[in-house]
Amino acid sequence: MPISLVLVDDHPAVRTGLQSLLDHEPGLQVIATAATGREGFNAIAELEPPVAVVDYHLPDEDGLILCLRTRALPRPPRIIIYSAFAAARLAVLTVVAGAAALVSKNGRPEELLAAIRADGRSPDHRDQISPVALRDAGAHLEPDDLAILGMLIHDIPAAEIAATLEMEERWLLARRWAILERLAGHGRDIPPRVPRAAAHPRMPRSLSSWDTQG
């Protein structure tokens, strides 16, 4: 069975080029494309693809918000953040948002294909996090959130993090919203795109209710 994908990018030329590239790759199939975070979330929630390729810059919300919203879905996909701003601090944010990989638009197509297939040839976005970026991130977080960030960096599953910290998983997700907001506001080498209202820790009870009606 081919790997089904959803592409989310606001540039029509990029969407067309990516779809052409991926549809000509054996074992890959683009089943939907979207130009905004809202459209992307709806497509992911409805079609339940195993993989989604998401641009960082989107006209309504950024790809990190979309990624974190999908963590509350019954079958969240592996999300690959595809961005021209693949810097060390953005790598920290992708980990907090729950992305599976961070791939630069300036890189070779083989890097994106390897990340989609998760075949071991794709560089781990955690390896892109420099000690400087990690130290800078820690300096802007509340003490209680440092443990969450540390476990996310070490790829500890969310359920295990929640159990270790003796909190409900929905509250852990809320804390990740707060971490994402705080770190996005302090990144010096990436544009801050996480709206404060959208990333407030008092998130809705069900993020899956964020659809075309809401």
Picking from 59, 105, 61, the residue whose alpha carbon sits closest to that of residue 81 is 105
Nearest of 26, 23, 35 to residue 61 by alpha carbon: 35
Is residue 8 within a helix (H) or strand (E), and if so which, with residue range? strand 3-8
d(CA 57, CA 68): 15
| Nearest by Cα to 106 from 129, 83, 125 | 83
- The pLDDT of residue 211: 34
Instruction: Return the CA Rg of the chain.
Output: 16
In a structure prediction context, what are the per-residue pLDDT tens digits for the chain, which is 214 residues long? Answer: 889 999 999 999 999 999 999 989 999 999 999 999 999 999 999 999 999 999 998 998 889 999 999 998 999 999 999 988 767 778 889 999 999 999 988 888 898 999 999 865 555 666 667 778 778 888 888 888 999 998 998 889 999 999 999 999 989 999 999 999 888 765 444 444 444 333 333 333 333 333 323 3
pTM exceeds 0.85, yes or no: no
Q: What is the pLDDT of residue 138?
A: 83
CA distance 106 to 137: 25
Cα 64 to Cα 34: distance, rounded to the nearest angstrom: 15
Residue 172: predicted pLDDT: 92
By CB atoms closer than 10 A (0-12, 13-18, 19+), residue 97 is: buried
What CATH class has 3-128? alpha beta
Residue range(s) occupied by CATH 3.40.50.2300 in the chain:
3-128
DSSP letter assigned to residue 79: E
| Tokens read off for 133 | 């970026």
CA dihedral 176, 178, 181, 183 (to 10 degrees): -70
Angular region, 58: left φ>0, alpha ψ -120 to 50, beta rest: beta
Do residues 73 and 39 touch, judged by C-beta distance below 8 A? Answer: no
